[in-house]
Structure 1
């Protein structure tokens, strides 16, 4: 086996010891002992003169390496992840070719030897989730080190001043450490591109010299205790991503932020004390994503609308925001606008025609939307629980709209004309779904939605609901509207009030639409409504149907290839057998879908029963 180049013994759970003769594998390039029960490596492992990779991942009984390990002159990668390593031997410094040293999750490791600085070829050093308390000053001698990862080193409180001498360092990750400050010498890291300080709860201030990091591309300060950013942050001429999420002590952004001309992402989500944006934001020509969710911003700077590359704007939960800039149409690149739960927002006046997604969910004071007919690219419109919104102007002009979510928008589904009452329950279980073709030229009186409901829950003593109590319920309706070569899925909520709780009778509800207008969506000739589901609360839906208000005129049988041209009606008959009727509602001689026929089918006498409008 003298020519063997790779030996993999991973998952050999019974392997506790390697033979001394393993050192005779002079040609071995990779040795993988991951997940074995190895307690120590044989001394003559140093004889493997060609070994480049030594993998000891999850060797949980391995506590130390022999001094001879330093003689592996060709070793490029040493992976000690998830071992019980307590210390590294001093002569590890003799590994002149070592480029990767991985010590992640070595929970017993508290200290690095001073000699580690002599690993001049080291490119990557991973110390995440160790008990390291400090880095040796000699680390500054690692002139080729590019990545230093110290995630979750909970005992690490400071960095040595000499860390600034890591001139080749590209990424420094201090996530979840106890570091309180960064030494001024960091300004000498000419190659640093990523500085990560996520969840450094003790970190309060960036050094003034931070502005000298000319190569820095990403600065992540998520959930630090930082109170302000230095003005000279404007000198970070390469900065593209600035993340300030959950910096709850941050009150303002300096003017210098507005001078970051290469910045592409600004994320200040959950900066609850942030009340003001810098005046100079118009110079941020490359900025394409802004997240100001859960800040206390009440207005935008005058030059905000000159952000020529803005694609994504998230301003959810702005408690003080009452209106957007009067005219947002100049932001011609904006595709996604999220304005959820801005409870004081009343008006949105003008929007850019480039918009693809608009979300105004739970803007409970919103009463007016702009004309949407110019939003030809809009595919998603979310207006859930905008309770005061009464109309969606220009909806018929949105050529690309695929989904409209308007659950809880009770004013959109309110009708001045409705019928509701009760009737003796019919023993038959009726249920079906179908597609309906609306032809405005023929049915100029529009259509109606008829529902038969039954209370199905027992008396809830927690709610103290008893016979005769007046209740209300919501009916969730999901429909798909087919228009020419496109289709749109829409979600609406019907609120039915003043229902007397009873177990003896069913409830009938008849909703009159405004002509051929599906909850504010105008329907044109040959448009099709496909009901996907109707869901109720506190009730069982026994029966539903969409009906025309007037009689059907003569019409030729439609093309049978169109699913929208006929009803599919199925129910269980009195004899228990399943019955299915396929018929065209518009064809003379077929069963007519009229309101009087509906009453007769459900056993309801509109004269003798109590109806009200």
Structure 2
């Protein structure tokens, strides 16, 4: 096989191959894929390749020859047995994508900051690791994923990231994100070691300054409020909140098109949402104390309304002015006793296990309306 000098792609996924020889003459090889080659024990490849995938195999370390992979653009060791990256990765001067999700990595090597062309870094499940303090020196980093890691502090990041996906159960201090002025997508899932030492509001995170942000996915059970300058995020289209101690919502940006509130168990009212004139999708679920969705009747562009497991919600406002509403889904709203009249635009009304309901909209009020009611104990 080493004589195939013109070969550009070599895909050996899920094969029983045990050894990859040097294959020096494969100078035109662009992609070498060894996904789930669980019998692979020896890797001596010295040819050139732009992409190398070792996903899901049982290698516990990268081969020494990896320092010769100067042409490598993408390296994926996700789900493999590799426990550490050698310092020799600093020689991969053309590397743009490095993926290490669901790996056994103990830490991120300091040498990563030498990969000056790196654009995408994805790492996860390293138990004691910290992020190299000089990661801010990666000028082209556009996507950073640090998932399910035991990171206690996040150092200063470069201004370049467009996507930041960060998960940790052991944060010690707030992180200042205010310099990430190019950020479009922020997924921030954190728990703190000492939540009682937190400030009353996470304003020091600087999220309100991320004026290019389009998607914010915030999971943080330890905070009880959100910064008031969230309303200044004029480009924000999607907001997902999983904050069990959150007491109420601040004023939200008017261009929001999708809002999901889940496990906000301390919230009793949403506060007035009537300014969300662009909102088309609203999901509220598992908010045990919520008694009122204030301003719901003013969401003139709402198309989908989903209310799931809201045991304290007894009534809904008049929805007849929501002329674009197409679907209502209600599940385990066990105190809800009445659904008011709905607009002619409504096509689907689906109700699961709302046991106290006594009044439904008249199906004849809309020729396209389909009503489905199920009363049985099952998870919605």
User: In which range does the TM-score fall when normalised by the shorter chain?
Assistant: 0.7 to 0.9
User: How far 1:101 sits from its partner (Å)?
Assistant: 1.7
The counterpart of 1:241, out of the listed 167, 178, 185, is 185
- 2:279 corresponds in structure 1 to 334
User: How far 1:230 sits from its partner (Å)?
Assistant: 1.6
Alpha-carbon distance between aligned partners in 1 of 2:307 and 2:86, rounded to the nearest angstrom: 53
C-alpha contact (below 8 Å) 2:349/2:369 kept by paired residues: no
The counterpart of 1:324, out of the listed 263, 270, 283, is 270
Alpha-carbon distance between aligned partners in 1 of 2:3 and 2:289, rounded to the nearest angstrom: 74
- 2:130 corresponds in structure 1 to 181
Instruction: Write the mapping of 1:32-431 to structure 2, written as runs, cut at 5 A.
Output: 45-62=1-18, 64-67=19-22, 69-83=23-37, 84-89=39-44, 92-93=45-46, 95=47, 97-113=48-64, 115-154=65-104, 156-178=105-127, 180-200=129-149, 202-207=150-155, 209-210=156-157, 213-231=158-176, 233-245=177-189, 247=191, 253=202, 254-269=204-219, 271-301=220-250, 304-305=251-252, 307-325=253-271, 327-351=272-296, 352-393=299-340, 395-396=341-342, 398-413=343-358
Q: Deviations over 1:337-392 (max 9, x none)?
A: 22223222222332221222223333222234222121111122234443443433
C-alpha contact (below 8 Å) 2:187/2:217 kept by paired residues: yes
TM-score, length-scaled by structure 1: 0.55
Q: Deviations over 1:263-304 (max 9, x none)?
A: 1111124x3223221221112111111122352100123xx2
C-alpha contact (below 8 Å) 1:146/1:170 kept by paired residues: yes
Alpha-carbon distance between aligned partners in 2 of 1:380 and 1:150, rounded to the nearest angstrom: 40
TM-score, length-scaled by structure 2: 0.86
C-alpha contact (below 8 Å) 2:2/2:25 kept by paired residues: yes
- 1:504 corresponds in structure 2 to none
Q: Deviations over 1:312-351 (max 9, x none)?
A: 11123322211121x3211111122222232222223322
Going from structure 1 to structure 2, the CA distance change for 1:54 and 1:172 (only over 3 Å counts) comes to same
User: How far 1:123 sits from its partner (Å)?
Assistant: 0.8
C-alpha contact (below 8 Å) 1:77/1:98 kept by paired residues: yes
Going from structure 1 to structure 2, the CA distance change for 1:372 and 1:484 (only over 3 Å counts) comes to closer
Alpha-carbon distance between aligned partners in 1 of 2:160 and 2:331, rounded to the nearest angstrom: 44
Q: In structure 2, list runs of 5 or more residues that go unmatched.
A: none
Q: Deviations over 1:496-554 (max 9, x none)?
A: xxxxxxxxxxxxxxxxxxxxxxxxxxxxxxxxxxxxxxx99xxxxxxxxxxxxxxxxxx
Going from structure 1 to structure 2, the CA distance change for 1:276 and 1:479 (only over 3 Å counts) comes to closer
User: How far 1:183 sits from its partner (Å)?
Assistant: 0.4
The counterpart of 1:488, out of the listed 361, 370, 375, is 370
User: Secondary structure, in 3 states, of the residue corresponding to 2:124?
Assistant: coil
User: How far 1:489 sits from its partner (Å)?
Assistant: 1.6
C-alpha contact (below 8 Å) 2:20/2:43 kept by paired residues: yes
Alpha-carbon distance between aligned partners in 2 of 1:159 and 1:194, rounded to the nearest angstrom: 16
C-alpha contact (below 8 Å) 1:255/1:278 kept by paired residues: no
User: Secondary structure, in 3 states, of the residue corresponding to 2:139?
Assistant: coil
Going from structure 1 to structure 2, the CA distance change for 1:267 and 1:234 (only over 3 Å counts) comes to same
Q: Deviations over 1:403-439 (max 9, x none)?
A: 224454455427xxxxxxxxxxxxxxxxxxxxxxxxx
C-alpha contact (below 8 Å) 1:479/1:489 kept by paired residues: no
C-alpha contact (below 8 Å) 2:286/2:309 kept by paired residues: yes
User: Secondary structure, in 3 states, of the residue corresponding to 2:153?
Assistant: coil
Going from structure 1 to structure 2, the CA distance change for 1:346 and 1:247 (only over 3 Å counts) comes to same
Q: In structure 1, list runs of 5 or more residues that go unmatched.
A: 1-44, 415-477, 494-534, 537-613
Going from structure 1 to structure 2, the CA distance change for 1:328 and 1:167 (only over 3 Å counts) comes to same
C-alpha contact (below 8 Å) 1:345/1:365 kept by paired residues: yes
Q: Deviations over 1:100-157 (max 9, x none)?
A: 12222330342431x4233222111122233323222221222221111122321x21
Alpha-carbon distance between aligned partners in 1 of 2:366 and 2:83, rounded to the nearest angstrom: 68
User: Secondary structure, in 3 states, of the residue corresponding to 1:101?
Assistant: strand
Length, aligned pairs only: 368
**Which structure has the greater CA radius of gyration?**
1
C-alpha contact (below 8 Å) 1:197/1:221 kept by paired residues: yes
Instruction: Write the mapping of 1:428-467 to structure 2, written as runs, cut at 5 A.
Output: none
